Every structure is written in C-alpha cells, then in structure tokens.
Chain A
Amino acid sequence: MTPNRTQIIPIGPYHPLQEEPEFFKLHVEGEKVVKLDIEIGYNHRGIEKLAEGLTYDQVPFLVERVCGICSTSHPFACVNAIEDVGGFDIPERAKYIRTFVGELERIHSHLLWLGLAGHFLGYNTVWMWAWKYREPVLDCFELLTGNRNHYAMFKPGGVRRDFEDEDLPTAMRILDGLERPLLMFAKIAMADPVLQARLKNVGVLTYEDCVELGALGPTSRASGVPWDVRRDHPYAAYDLVEWDVVTTENGDVFDKVVVRVLEMLESVKICKQCLEKLREVRDGIDANYKEIPPGEGIGHHEAPRGEVFHYVRSDGSNRPIRYKIRAPSFMNVPTNNRAVVGYTVSDATITLAAIDPCYCCTERTIVVDADSGKQLMGWKELLRLSQEKTRKLMEKYKSRMDRVWI
C-alpha cells in the first residue's frame, strides 16, 4: 500500500492573522499546495432578511454594518438601488459629497490593506508606515462627516449632512499632504527588494481566470481586466470628474499592490476635484423623496474591493419585500482556488490575503442545534449577552477612569 502523500494544513476556522472567521484547508504535497478547500459561514447576521423588516430610511444604516472597513460602499450601492426603483435623480452637490466620501474611503481601505499585507509578510515597517498615513484620512472623515468609521452620510435622495465651507481648506491640506507619502509607497513597492522577492510571480491569476470566476476590483484589474463600475456604469459624480482606471498585466500579488497604490493616487485626484466643485455647486443635498413606487431596482458601487451589488424589490409600501446583497469578496474568495494552487505554503498566506478579503461581507446565516432543531441563540439571548458585555466594559472603563482622575 502506498502511503497517501497529501496532507492537510488547516488555516482557520479563525484566521490567525486576519482575525476573521474563515476556514482554508490547504492540501499539500511537501511544500506545494495541490488543492484548496474553502469553508465559510462561521459568522452570520442575516442582514438580507433583516432588511425586509426595515423602512427605506433605515436600510442604509443596516447595510452600513455589513462591513466595518468599507462602511460607505454598501449604503452607496443601497441608495443607488432604491433610487433606481423610481428612477430618481439627486442634487449635484449631493453627488459630489457622495463621490468624495466613497473615494476617501478607498484611500483609507487601501492603506489599511497595504499595512496588513506588509504585516502578513512579516515586514512590519510597511505596516507602521501605511497606517501612519491612514490616520490623517480618518481625521478628514471626522472633520467632514463627524465620524471616523461609520459615516452614516447616505440616505435615499441625497446625503444626510452638508460639508461646511470652512472645513474644506483643511480637507484639501490633508489630501495635499497625502500625495507625497503615496508616491513614496509607489516607489517603495517598485524598488524594495524584499517586496519583489516575496510578491513577484506569486499567486498569479490569469485574465481568463478572472473573467471565468467574475473576479472584481483590484483583483481583476491587476490581471488586465479593465472592469470598473465607476467608469462603466457611471453614478454619483464619477462622470463629472477626471480620472483613470488603473490596470496592470501580470496578475500576481505584486501587481495587486501596484494597482492599489496607484488607485489611491487617482482617488486623491477625484477627492480634490470634488472639493473644488463643492465650493461652487450649491443646489441642496437632499431631493426629499417620500414615496418609493412598486418595482425593482439595482444599484452598484465600486467598493475598494470590487463591485458591491444590491437588488431591491418594492411593492409600494415603505419596506422592501426582498433585498439582495452581493459583496465583492463573494466573487473574489473563490479565485483563491486558482491563485493558491501550485505555489508553496509560505506563499499561500499572502496570496489568500491579496484579494483583500472581507468575510463579514460574504456571509449570511443562523445557528441551530442539529438534534432538537432549536435555534441556539435567539434574539433575547443575543440581546442579553450584548447588554452584559456593555455592562462589563462600562465597569472596567469606569474603574480605569477613576484611577486616571483621582
């Protein structure tokens, strides 16, 4: 009997570095990965179902919670979908504000990924530098929207808050200050021997793979597939500003870094044009639509990770009767089946991270005991746990505050 040469290396169900629940089973022969099993479904919130019980004004708040990093992408697609139901148009000023928020978020998300990618390679210098320059971006968000992460700016028909004129010069200064470090990152990425050695010709996705599996965002653009919803299906102010779609040819992890760094520079360009326009365009920020007619609508937005797709079905009441969310990672994660296989185990960690996966976005489900058929965690139970945790945190925080103030 010949021994089975294939062994399985499990990564998950809780990723040691990404700190998100997913399960990759690497089937390896020696050092080489020969097969990959992907299991997801460890983190469920049932957002599609929840959306059916909420009004159109509440749904953008709910979908904002789909992802903590690209927290504007889902509301962006959501309001696009709701406006598509009735064929509504929105004021130009609201379009510029939406575009600005969407692009600034791309910068923060790509910087976050760049830092994490460095961290995954054990190259913590990149991590520290990338996150250092992410800080002013968050400050800019705080200045203009009031929040560093969940901005809650979007509503069907416009945006919730206006930008103040006196804040615009500060925002402009922050954007100006970003250009130099971003160019530095571009230079580092091109010249650094460590990044070259670890990332060149690793985890290659071919053009055909991307088209077949429907890969999205920087994952596909690094393989030369020029899909970008912002250009192809223009919405908000993307057809009113000048910018370019960045593509590269090789499809390896290195090219994914390059695409993301160059995209950030494009985003800075878009943001600045939006700020310029916001000085002049003053036609209100909200079209104030009251009724959503019966029908169906599709909205999408090019999130930092790729196209976010929302479908909404309305029966003329104030709540959707079906809400479908498709996050980009849902299409990008299966590409790992092609990108990881054939390379060594040590390359797998960075390749699995190269698509900038976001598992929270991909998943929707609920836990039931198999023997009794009972739901393990009901609404009451979850509420109790949540309250208990808040109480504990408050106590801890209070005792620490006491120490500080005494």
Chain B
Amino acid sequence: MADEVVEGIKAKFGDAIKDVYEKSSRRTFITVDPARLPDIAEYCYKDLACRFQICSGMHMEYGFEILYHFAMDRANRIINLRVILDPEKPSIESIAKRVPAAEWIEREMWELLGIEFRNHPDMRHLLLSDDWLEGNYPLRRDWKEWRGGEHDTE
C-alpha cells in the first residue's frame, strides 16, 4: 500500500520528483519541482482523494521552503510535498483554484513570508491590516522588528 502511492506519483510525474524520503510508514516527504507542484497537488487531492491539511512556509538559509501537507485518512499516512524556492524572489503558481482549501493559507504565506503566489483568485491581506507596509514580512529571518529570542526583554 505504502509504496503504491509513491510509485504512482513517480510514474506520473517522473522527472518532477527530485527526492523521496519515507520517514516512517505514516510520513512521506517528497521534494518536487516547483513548476509542476500544482499538478502534483491536484493529483494528490483529486486522484488520491487526500485531504489538504495546510502548508508550512519556512525561511531557511538556502531559500524559502513550502511543505504541502496532504492526509490520506484511510491509510493513516501524511504525504508532504516539499518545494524549495529562490531566496531572492520566491514565487510559485497558486493551487487555490484547484484546491480551494488552500486559499487562506496562501494569503497568509504571502503576507508573512513574502512568497508570491501567481494567479491566486483573491490575493489580499488576511491577518495583517490592509495598510501594512510593503516589503515587511514578519516571519522572515531578517525581519528587523522582532527576532526570535533577541527582542528587548530586559
């Protein structure tokens, strides 16, 4: 059961799959090509009937990383699609039109991490106010106002 899923994704999107890491029988991490991500996400959501859980966006030294978490509820398994984006100008195609549940989290990642989601149906601020200053992304590591652990706690 476990491997059928990964083999199926590999067979369909062979060249777009860069790495597969089976952490355990319940957690699978697949690194994919950002250009093909919307197709693979749609395959997980429609063909594998996975439930879209959420995305986790991260700012790492080597660039921006997004994990798309898909739960296979019948198989007790979570498929995580990982994309790594350019550190200077992170940009990826939106999946919100194909996976409607992703609409809010893409808005959140855009305003907090500054990742551009191309062709998002309704790109507005979600948590921050509408007059939030351009170019201020609070969850980035180099954000000035607040650094984890280094704020003025004295």
**8 Å CB interface, A61-99 against B:** 84, 87
A307 contacts B by Cβ under 8 Å: yes
Main secondary structure of the interface of A (DSSP, over half): mixed
**8 Å CB interface, B15-35 against A:** 23-24, 26-27, 29
B4 contacts A by Cβ under 8 Å: no
- Chain B positions within 8 Å of A365 at CB level: 112, 127-128, 138
B53 and A307 form a contact (CB under 8 A): yes
A309 and B54 form a contact (CB under 8 A): yes
Q: Name the residue on A nearest B56 (C-beta).
A: A324
Provided the pairs A212-B100, A214-B53 are in contact, do residues A46 and B146 lie with their beta carbons within 8 angstroms?
Answer: yes
The minimal Cβ–Cβ distance linking A117 to chain B, given in whole angstroms, is: 25
B78 contacts A by Cβ under 8 Å: yes
Stretch at the interface among A174-182, A264-272, A375-383: A375-383
Report how far A402 CA is from B79 CA in the complex, Å: 61
Report how far A48 CA is from B146 CA in the complex, Å: 13
B78 and A40 form a contact (CB under 8 A): no
- Chain A positions within 8 Å of B52 at CB level: 214
Report how far A364 CA is from B57 CA in the complex, Å: 14
B2 contacts A by Cβ under 8 Å: no
B26 and A233 form a contact (CB under 8 A): yes
Provided the pairs A41-B127, A84-B27, A234-B76 are in contact, do residues A52 and B148 lie with their beta carbons within 8 angstroms?
Answer: yes
Stretch at the interface among A198-206, A326-334, A349-357: A326-334
Provided the pairs A309-B69, A364-B127 are in contact, do residues A49 and B146 lie with their beta carbons within 8 angstroms?
Answer: yes
Q: Mark A299-313, 1 if CB is under 8 A from B, else 0.
A: 010000001010101
Report how far A87 CA is from B26 CA in the complex, Å: 11
A298 contacts B by Cβ under 8 Å: yes
Provided the pairs A212-B100, A233-B76, A326-B53 are in contact, do residues A313 and B58 lie with their beta carbons within 8 angstroms?
Answer: yes
B123 contacts A by Cβ under 8 Å: no
A309 and B53 form a contact (CB under 8 A): yes
- Chain A positions within 8 Å of B29 at CB level: 296
Most buried by B among A49, A53, A87, A326: A49
**8 Å CB interface, A310-367 against B:** 311, 313, 322, 324, 326, 330-331, 334, 363-366
Q: Name the residue on B nearest A369 (C-beta).
A: B133
A334 and B103 form a contact (CB under 8 A): yes
The minimal Cβ–Cβ distance linking A380 to chain B, given in whole angstroms, is: 6
A-B contact pairs, 7 of them (CB 8 A): A84-B27, A227-B51, A296-B29, A307-B53, A311-B69, A322-B56, A326-B53
Sorted nearest first, the 5 A-B pairs with minimum C-beta distance are A214-B101, A53-B149, A41-B127, A324-B56, A326-B54
Residues of B bordering A, CB below 8 Å: 23-24, 26-27, 29, 51-54, 56, 58, 67, 69, 71, 73-74, 76, 78, 80, 100-101, 103-105, 112, 125-129, 131-133, 136, 138-139, 145-146, 148-149, 151-153
